[in-house]
Structure 1
Amino acid sequence: MRLILAGAMAVAAMVHPASAQVRRFALGSGPVTTGATPVAPDHAYADGYGYEPGGHSLFSVAAAPGNYRVTVTIGLPKDATDTTIKAESRRLMVDALKVGAGKHETVSFIVNVRDASLVQPPANAPGGSRVLLKPREQESFTWDDKLTLEILGAHPGVTAIAIEPVTLPTIFLLGDSTVTDQPAEPAASWGQMLPVFFSPDIAVANHAESGETMKSFMTELRLAKVLELAKPGDWALIQFGHNDQKANWPQTYAAADTTYRDYLRTWIAEFRRRGVTPVLVTSPERRFWTGTRIRPTLGDYAAAVKAVGAELGVPVIDLNAMSTAFYQGLGPDRAPLAFNDGGKDATHHDNYGAWALARCVAKGLADAKVALAAHLKPGLPPFDPGRPPDPASFRLTPSIAHDTRRPEGN
Structure 2
Amino acid sequence: MRRVATAVLPAVALAAALTATPAQAGGARPLGIENCTATACHFDVPPGTYDVTVRLGGETASGTSVTGETRRSLLPETAVPAGEHLTRGFTVNVRTPEGEPTGPDGTPGLDLTLGGSAPALAGIRVTPSRHARRIVLIGDSTVCDQPADPYSGWGQQLPQYLRRGLTVANYADSGESTVTYLADPRLWATVRPLVRPGDLVLIQLAHNDKTTDEATYRSNLETLVGGIRDQGGEPVLVTPIVRRWFNADGTLDNNTALLVNGLGVDLPAVVRSVVAAERVPLIDLTAKTKALVESLGPEGSKAIYLYNEKRDNTHTSVHGATVYAGLVRDALLALDLVPEGVVRVG
Tell me by how many angstroms 1:327 deviates: 0.9
Larger displacement relative to structure 2 (286-295 or 206-215): 206-215
- Structure 2: give runs of 5+ residues left out of the alignment: 25-33, 261-265
Q: Tell me how far apart the structure 1 counterparts of residues 201 and 177 of structure 2 sit (CA, whole Å).
A: 16
User: How many angstroms apart in 2 are the aligned matches of 1:220 and 1:24?
Assistant: 42
Preserved contact between residue 187 and residue 341 of structure 1 (Cα < 8 Å) = no
Is structure 2 residue 308 aligned with structure 1 residue 308?
no
> In 2, Cα distance between the equivalents of 1:82 and 1:282?
35
TM-score (norm 1): 0.72
Among 85, 92, 98, the alignment partner of 1:104 is 85
Counterpart of 2:251? 293
1:272 is the counterpart of 2:253 = no
Q: Distance in 1 between matches of 2:116 and 2:315?
A: 24
Q: Measured at CA, do residues 42 and 106 of structure 1 come closer, stay the same or move farther in structure 2, by a change above 3 Å?
A: closer
State the one-letter code of the partner of 1:91: R
TM-score norm. by structure 2 comes to 0.84
CA contact (8 A) 2:157 2:321 kept: yes
- 1:58 aligns to what? 40
Matched, 1:235 2:217: no
Deviations 1:309-356 (A, max 9, x none): 100101111101111111111111111111126251101111221111
Q: Is the 8 A contact 1:174 1:239 kept in 2?
A: yes
Deviations 1:349-377 (A, max 9, x none): 1122111111111222233x233354652
Deviation at 1:132, TM superposition (A): 9.8
Deviations 1:186-206 (A, max 9, x none): 211110111122232211111
1:2-401 correspondence to structure 2 within 5 Å = 29=9, 40=16, 43=19, 46=22, 50=35, 56-76=38-58, 78-116=59-97, 134=102, 137-140=103-106, 144-167=107-130, 168-218=132-182, 219-245=184-210, 247=211, 254-255=212-213, 257-291=214-248, 292-296=250-254, 297=256, 298-299=259-260, 300-340=266-306, 342=308, 344-367=311-334, 369-374=335-340, 376-377=342-343, 380=345
The question of whether the paired residues in 1 share the 8 Å contact of 2:133 and 2:199 is answered with: yes
Structure 1 contact 27–41 (Cα < 8 Å) conserved? no
The 2-side partners of 1:176 and 1:23 are apart by: 41
Q: Distance in 1 between matches of 2:312 and 2:190?
A: 31
Between the aligned residues of both structures, percent identity stands at 33
Classify the secondary structure of the residue corresponding to 1:347. strand
Assess if the C-alpha contact under 8 Å between 1:28 and 1:41 holds in 2: no
Q: Which amino acid aligns with 2:220?
A: Y
Q: Write the deviation string for residues 222-268 of structure 1: whole angstroms up to 9, x where unpaired.
A: 223322222111110000000122x3xxxxxx32x111110111111
- Aligned-partner Cα distance in 1 for 2:190–2:17: 36
User: Residues 212 and 61 (structure 1 numbering): CA distance in 2 closer, same or farther, change over 3 Å?
Assistant: same
Measured in 2, the distance between the counterparts of 1:47 and 1:362 equals 33
Counterpart contact for 1:25–1:39, Cα < 8 Å: no
Query: Does the CA contact (< 8 Å) of 2:164 and 2:342 recur in 1?
Result: no
Closer/same/farther in 2, CA of residues 133 and 107 from structure 1, 3 Å limit: closer
Q: Distance in 2 between matches of 1:375 and 1:42?
A: 34
Deviates more, 1:94-103 or 1:233-242: 94-103
Partner Cα distance (2:312, 2:302) in 1: 8
Query: What CA distance in whole angstroms lies between the structure 2 residues aligned with 1:40 and 1:304?
Result: 57
Mapped to 1, the partners of 2:236 and 2:133 lie a distance apart of 15
SS at structure 2 position matched to 1:69: strand
**Greater relative contact order, per chain length (Cα 8 Å cut-off, separation 6+):** 1
Q: Which moved further from structure 2: 92-101 or 308-317?
A: 92-101
Q: Deviations over 1:13-69 (max 9, x none)?
A: xxxxxxxxx897778847xxxxxxx97568456575856xxx853322112111100
Instruction: Indicate conservation of the 8 Å contact 1:132/1:221, yes or no.
Output: no
Contact 2:63 2:77 survives alignment (8 Å): yes
**1 or 2, which has the higher helix percentage?**
2
Name the SS of the counterpart of 1:293 in structure 2. Answer: coil
* Distance in 2 between residues matched to 1:331 and 1:238, nearest whole Å: 28
Q: Distance in 2 between matches of 1:376 and 1:46?
A: 30
